Amino acid sequence: MSAAPLLRLAGVHTHLGAFHILHGVDLEVPEGEVTVLLGRNGAGKTTTLRTIMGLTPASAGTISFDGQPLQARATPDIARLGLAYVPENMGIFGDLSVRENLLLAARGARRLEQIDAKRLDAIFVLFPALKTFWLHPAGTLSGGQKQMLAIARALVEPRRLLLVDEPSKGLAPAIVANLIGALRDLKATRTTLLLVEQNFAMARALGDGVAVIDDGRVVHRGRMAALADDAALQHRLLGLSLGGRA
Amino acid sequence: MTVAAVPMTVPRRDPWPLALLAALALGALPLVGSVSSWVTLSVAGLAMGMIVFIVASGLTLVFGLMDVLNFGHGVFIALGAFVATSVLAGLSDWTSPADLARNVAAIFVAMLAAMALAAAIGAAFERLLVRPAYGQHLKQILVTMGGMVIGEELIKVVWGPAPLPLPLPEALRGALVLGDAAVEKYRVFAVAVGLLVLAAMLYTLNRTKLGLLIRAGVQDREMVESLGYRVRTLFVGVFVAGSALAGLGGVLWGLYQQTVTAQIGAQVNVLIFIVVIVGGLGSTLGCLVGALLVGLLANYTGFLAPQLAVFSNIALMIGVLLWRPLGLYPVGRR
Amino acid sequence: MWRRLLSHDLPRSRALAALLLLIVLALALTPFVLPGARALNVAAKVLVFIVLVASYDLLLGYTGIVSFAHTMFFGIGAYGVAIASARLGPGWAAVGAGLGAALLASLALAALIGLASLRVRAIFFAMITLAVASAFQALASQWSAFTGGEDGLSFALPAALQPATLYLDEPLLGARVDGRLLSYAGLFGATLVLVLAMLRIVNSPFGSVLKAIRENDFRAEALGYRTVVYRTAANVIAALFATLAGAMLALWLRYNGPDTSLSFEIMLDVLLIVVIGGMGSLYGAVVGSVLFVLAQSYLQDLMRAAAGAAEGLPLLAALLSPDRWLLWLGVLFVLSVYHFPEGVVGRLRAPRRPRHDADRAPRPPGGSR
Amino acid sequence: MLETRDLTVRFGGHVAVDAVSCTFLPGTLTAIVGPNGAGKTTYFNALSGQVRASAGSIHWRGRDLTAQPVARRAQGGLGRAFQLTQLFPNLSVVENVRLAVQARRREGFRFWSVWSDHRNTLERAHALLERVRLGDRAHDRAASLPHGDQRKLEVAMLMAQEPGAYLFDEPTAGMGVDDVPVILDLIAALKQQRDKVILLVEHKLDVVRRLADRIVVLHNGRLVADGPPEQVMASPIVQKAYLGLVPPGEA
């Protein structure tokens, strides 16, 4: 296997009030690759990302990023290490304009001019709609456009790892295809991505490595290509298969 | 399609609350009868509205950003007013001559002193009283109320329990005559200072990174933290700035009333609560419109039906809440 | 017998039961054991505060409603009796009419405020009640023709209660048996009856639903309880008891003014008593009122002595001067909210674990994981 | 009989439930399944009144209750258990259930009787606790119960309401392996009464297979499949919906 993974989770447990959600998650995200985290809903995918970002405290286990422990750090400090997080509900600042959302995401820039022009143009090429509604409050954008803005915010400054939570959720097929194209271009720049997804088509199009999580535990680890060819395995892990535990 | 060719469209603001403000002002004209007294009342209303806005703006941002409701915010108003009495008394050689430049300079020194002290006490107030009660509204209400009482009593210890006079500097006494309408000089000054503070605030909120952070934090605190900003320290900054603004407002309110008592904070506290409710918690624009509505209404009813003036604020609050239960400009809570 | 009388809400702690018994006896025997007017006034103030604070805890401790309008209803009761007696002349008819009118006014106002809680969040409701109460206070001092303005209204009591009326020639157990004693007895009796009535209400099915609303009003609604109706009823009941407490105060003082029955300081006293006594139990109001009024009356003497001793240091003297006692009240209040949340009763009942945390934020409604 | 006609729920631009028409007959247990964000919980919230329907209507026992508030629907016999446990944390376990029984018997608005004098209400509460095997924890604080027991308490409160329609929202979520059968037996016993409409949102498909007479599959807020378990499980549309390959609408 290549050098030590950029991100590693070992035996991570989390509790949300009385709920015990993650039951010892082990996960590795190699640098420069897209790792897809698949699983039925309620399996703990979103909680895994929130735990990495420190939004939900891990009650046990270790999380290390580039060799540094994360579980003791506060969310802002984790983000400053170079992690970007695109939450399931996109976390758009509705009252702020598209321009202001992006300016805010560029922590190093005090004014728009200080943002790397090349990156901004690349974003506009990926997501032209953001240029059209540049001055509009982000709240007035459509679902797909909001998703594009959420991802654009993660690209406005170089980040070492992008955590993206179900970008395809609630989007029309045409927009999903568009999104896959955009993320594929991003993948070409060898950006490390941990993608949580239910949409198998998107997962297959983008994923290098894959981990399947169920009831708070990683139940399968492997290469996306292998899983894509093995229909039986897909059904057992993800579909309406009648097997599975009580 | 090259990037440059992509057309840009411009957004539109919600006009209704501003229309309400205009309707109130114009509606009062026929009732008041003479244009001159309408002008006098309107300027008085604007002045009062501006001062209340300065004080209330800190409170609404603090709530918007960290869901903290400071029932003791009024104590900083009293603090500002009393500081003004000491400073202006000390600078009597600047305030007694009818030299506008010196008078205004004296007031600005008083304002700076009031803001500095209010900021320092604000930091202590946040550290001791507010921080241990994050997220627990009942405890916040009780503890900040206790903070108000302690603040008032400490002021009495330092400045004595009796009300103190806060005379206007010479050049700001009396009224300007515009046509046949008499407009008090100090009120024009108060409106001017109010506009200055408003401009500075709008510039900060809309043109600077700090302002973006505050507005975004009010919307979605977790997302702002996920972008790498420490919202907790941002909040303490906003709390201290809010206290300083209340101190500044205290100076203006003290001069407006011309006498200063320790209970000044408690009286104004109720007024700024109404303004913050009417405007919409967490919204600066809402706070401005709410403050102007309260200021104008208070002066108009004070002239037309003094007996009912007390209830004009309550009626306004109930009216707005029936129309928009979350206030004029509800901040979209995610 | 005890169980039925206390509506099965026993003190559940020997120490608390002993304390309550001691308080009842002390209040009953004050006129005989400590004749002087001062002790009697302190005891009467305790009785009035017990009823006022118990009714407030019905809202804050049992239903979880924060309202600052409680002193308004207290004032309405006091003014009702004062205005009626001043205008219609002393006599039970005037007192009855004044009290009746006050109760009606409080009922209407409380129902109105209760319905307002339908549309707005808890914090807004607290702010709205603060605004309404302050407007009412301003009104009371403005309508001087009607309310006697800033200096208030003095009035004569019905003949039976006047100190001049003598019932027995020689004193009974050391106390002159006159109208004054009858007034005190009336006050004591009324307090006993009202507190037992409130005890019954909080232990009735209605009371159990109030506690459910405090704990999780979302779930109470899902069970089928129309929480707005219960909240409004709680507001009305608490207001009526506060009105009665106001009337009791006016009858005892033979005077009523904005500072004695409407000032914000009274609201602060009520808040402190409820917190120190212990929220969520009427016994908290009883114990808290006694502790508070005793502290208020005798602490000032203590501070006067201390201020005298600290004559040399101006700042220290100013800090300890009796009229700054509100400063120490405030400090005590903040410390007890943080470090003594369960109050005296809570600590006596379950020394280790706080009985409940009245402001625990309920879980957000049915969002998915 | 519970029925929704073109029930639609919109949050701003996002359509969570898209014109779902469905009829649920007494004596049947219908499982509602679907991938994340399919609108299952939103559909439930619209039925029980937590969320207002943007369009369409809801009918229960012949009455249109689309505009009725939550409490009135509960009184009308629509009982709901929540995915995120909703209890009265500081009240005792038996008090939680007693409040539900008291609500069912409309005895809430009584001021003068002492609550413990209503023996039958209290006994009914204790009996229900026995059925969910929480009899020995009656006087503990509800918040002190472990998660699995809290879910059992939630089910006991729902049964105390004796509703005509039971809406279970993932009743066995996060429950220990030995607790699940207790709940499943309870739900199965309810089915035996033949006159109850039972709806169940559930991810554990073996639970669904064991209890459901009928399965309704929601995807992106739309009803994509409705029928007996074997037929629905086997249908390719549903398989794809679950895998998110192709939204069936365009299949």
CATH number at residue B42: 1.10.3470
Contact of C2 with C21, CB cutoff 8 Å: no
pLDDT digits (tens, 9 = 90+) for C197-254: 999 999 999 999 999 999 998 899 999 999 889 999 999 999 999 999 999 999 998 8
| Residue-level pLDDT at C279 | 87
The region, left, alpha or beta by phi > 0 then psi within -120 to 50, assigned to residue B105 is: alpha
Provide the residue type at B26 as one letter. L
The candidate with the shortest Cα–Cα distance to B223, out of A119, A163, A126, C368, is A163
For chain A positions 81-140, those within 8 Å of chain B (CB to CB) are: 85, 87, 89, 91, 93-97, 100, 103-105, 107, 109-111, 121, 124-125, 128, 131-137, 139-140
| Residue-level pLDDT at B10 | 59
Q: Which residues contact B175 (CB under 8 A, 6 or more apart)?
A: B182, B183, B184, B185
Asked if D205 and A142 come within 8 Å (Cβ–Cβ), the reply is no
| Residue-level pLDDT at B132 | 85
D233 touches chain A (CB under 8 A): yes
| Residue-level pLDDT at C102 | 94
Asked if C369 and A42 come within 8 Å (Cβ–Cβ), the reply is yes
Chain C residues close to D45, C-beta within 8 Å: 366
pLDDT digits (tens, 9 = 90+) for D50-86: 888 889 999 998 889 888 999 999 998 999 888 778 8
Contact of B185 with B175, CB cutoff 8 Å: yes
**How distant is the Cα of C44 from the closest Cα of chain B, in angstroms?**
26
Report the greatest alpha carbon distance in chain A: 57
Mean predicted confidence (pLDDT) in A48-55: 93
User: What backbone phi and psi angles, to 5 degrees, belong to B129?
Assistant: -105, -45
Asked if the structure places residue B211 within a domain, the reply is: yes
pLDDT digits (tens, 9 = 90+) for D180-190: 888 888 888 88
pLDDT digits (tens, 9 = 90+) for A200-214: 778 888 889 999 888
- List of chains touching D (3+ CB pairs within 8 A): A, C
d(CA B105, CA B113): 12
Mean predicted confidence (pLDDT) in C31-44: 84
Kindly tell me if the per-residue pLDDT of B120 is higher than 60.
Answer: yes
d(CA D225, CA D233): 10
| Residue-level pLDDT at B283 | 82
Kindly tell me if the per-residue pLDDT of B57 is higher than 90.
Answer: no
Query: Which range, A134-148, B312-326, C137-151, D119-133, is most confident?
Result: D119-133
C14-20 contacts, C-beta under 8 A, 24 or more apart: C15/C348, C16/C283, C16/C287, C16/C345, C16/C348, C16/C349, C19/C287, C19/C348, C20/C283, C20/C286, C20/C287
Out of B161-175, C41-55, C61-75, D59-73, which region has the weakest mean confidence (pLDDT)? B161-175
Asked if A18 and D36 come within 8 Å (Cβ–Cβ), the reply is no
Mean pLDDT over the full length of chain B:
85
| Residue-level pLDDT at B130 | 87
A202 touches chain B (CB under 8 A): no
User: In what helix (H) or strand (E) does residue C46 lie, and over which residues does it extend?
Assistant: helix C37-57
Kindly tell me if the per-residue pLDDT of D246 is higher than 60.
Answer: no
Strands in A39-93 per DSSP E: 58-65, 68-69, 83-86
CB-CB: which of C220, C357, C367 is closest to D84?
C367
Asked if the structure places residue B329 within a domain, the reply is: no
Kindly tell me if the per-residue pLDDT of C321 is higher than 70.
Answer: yes
d(CA D58, CA D167): 14
Coil/strand/helix, residue C96: helix
pLDDT digits (tens, 9 = 90+) for C118-169: 667 777 788 888 888 888 888 888 888 888 878 888 888 888 788 888 888 8
| Residue-level pLDDT at C368 | 29
**How distant is the Cα of C360 from the closest Cα of chain A, in angstroms?**
13
Specify the pairing of strand A217-223 against strand A209-214.
antiparallel
Kindly tell me if the per-residue pLDDT of C361 is higher than 60.
Answer: no
Kindly tell me if the per-residue pLDDT of B332 is higher than 60.
Answer: no
Q: At C72, is the pLDDT very low, low, confident or very high (cuts 50, 70, 90)?
A: very high
| Residue-level pLDDT at B12 | 58
- The residue segments making up the domain with residue B132 are 33-323
Asked if the structure places residue B7 within a domain, the reply is: no
CA-nearest residue to D184 within chain A is A246
The candidate with the shortest Cα–Cα distance to A39, out of D35, C38, C163, B298, is D35
Q: How many domains does chain B have?
A: 1
| Residue-level pLDDT at A74 | 92
- List of chains touching B (3+ CB pairs within 8 A): A, C
Kindly tell me if the per-residue pLDDT of C58 is higher than 90.
Answer: yes
Asked if the structure places residue B332 within a domain, the reply is: no
Asked if the structure places residue B25 within a domain, the reply is: no
CA-based end-to-end distance of chain D = 32
Contact of D150 with D142, CB cutoff 8 Å: yes
Which domains does chain C carry?
Answer: 2-350 (1.10.3470)
Mean predicted confidence (pLDDT) in D46-52: 88
CB-based burial of residue A217 (10 Å sphere; 0-12 exposed, 13-18 middle, 19+ buried)? Answer: middle
| Residue-level pLDDT at D13 | 65
Q: What is the separation of C-alpha C146 from the centre of its chain, rounded to a whole number of angstroms?
A: 26
C324 touches chain B (CB under 8 A): yes
Asked if C337 and B146 come within 8 Å (Cβ–Cβ), the reply is yes
Chain B residues close to A135, C-beta within 8 Å: 8-11
Kindly tell me if the per-residue pLDDT of D195 is higher than 80.
Answer: yes
Q: What is the separation of C-alpha A15 from the centre of its chain, rounded to a whole number of angstroms?
A: 21
Contact of B248 with B53, CB cutoff 8 Å: no
Kindly tell me if the per-residue pLDDT of B233 is higher than 80.
Answer: yes
Kindly tell me if the per-residue pLDDT of B31 is higher than 60.
Answer: yes
- List of chains touching A (3+ CB pairs within 8 A): B, C, D
Mean predicted confidence (pLDDT) in D205-215: 82
| Residue-level pLDDT at D247 | 44
Asked if C142 and B310 come within 8 Å (Cβ–Cβ), the reply is yes
Kindly tell me if the per-residue pLDDT of B36 is higher than 60.
Answer: yes
d(CA A57, CA C332): 35
Q: Which residues contact B133 (CB under 8 A, 6 or more apart)?
A: B139, B140, B143, C338
Q: At C360, is the pLDDT very low, low, confident or very high (cuts 50, 70, 90)?
A: very low
Provide the residue type at B316 as one letter. L
Kindly tell me if the per-residue pLDDT of C320 is higher than 90.
Answer: no
Q: At C173, is the pLDDT very low, low, confident or very high (cuts 50, 70, 90)?
A: confident
CB-CB: which of A41, A202, A241 is closest to D36?
A41
| Residue-level pLDDT at D186 | 85
| Residue-level pLDDT at B83 | 92
**How distant is the Cα of C369 from the closest Cα of chain A, in angstroms?**
6
Out of B126-140, B166-180, C349-363, which region has the weakest mean confidence (pLDDT)? C349-363
| Residue-level pLDDT at C365 | 34
d(CA B239, CA B241): 5
Per cent of chain D over pLDDT 90 is 22
Kindly tell me if the per-residue pLDDT of D251 is higher than 80.
Answer: no
Chain C residues close to A47, C-beta within 8 Å: 369
Asked if B3 and A131 come within 8 Å (Cβ–Cβ), the reply is yes
CA-nearest residue to C203 within chain D is D114
Chain A residues close to C363, C-beta within 8 Å: 17
Per cent of chain D over pLDDT 70 is 91
Asked if D112 and C230 come within 8 Å (Cβ–Cβ), the reply is no
Asked if C334 and B150 come within 8 Å (Cβ–Cβ), the reply is yes
**How distant is the Cα of C226 from the closest Cα of chain D, in angstroms?**
6
For chain A positions 182-211, those within 8 Å of chain D (CB to CB) are: 197-202
Contact of D215 with D24, CB cutoff 8 Å: no
Asked if A93 and B10 come within 8 Å (Cβ–Cβ), the reply is no
**How distant is the Cα of C27 from the closest Cα of chain B, in angstroms?**
30
d(CA C50, CA C290): 8
Asked if the structure places residue B14 within a domain, the reply is: no
| Residue-level pLDDT at A245 | 33
Asked if C119 and B322 come within 8 Å (Cβ–Cβ), the reply is yes
Which residue has better confidence, C245 or C308? C245
The region, left, alpha or beta by phi > 0 then psi within -120 to 50, assigned to residue B220 is: beta
Q: Supply A136's token pair.
A: 């509009």
Asked if C216 and D83 come within 8 Å (Cβ–Cβ), the reply is no
Mean predicted confidence (pLDDT) in A34-52: 85
Q: At B71, is the pLDDT very low, low, confident or very high (cuts 50, 70, 90)?
A: confident
| Residue-level pLDDT at A41 | 65
Asked if C359 and B139 come within 8 Å (Cβ–Cβ), the reply is yes
Asked if D173 and A42 come within 8 Å (Cβ–Cβ), the reply is yes
| Residue-level pLDDT at D37 | 62
Mean predicted confidence (pLDDT) in D18-28: 90
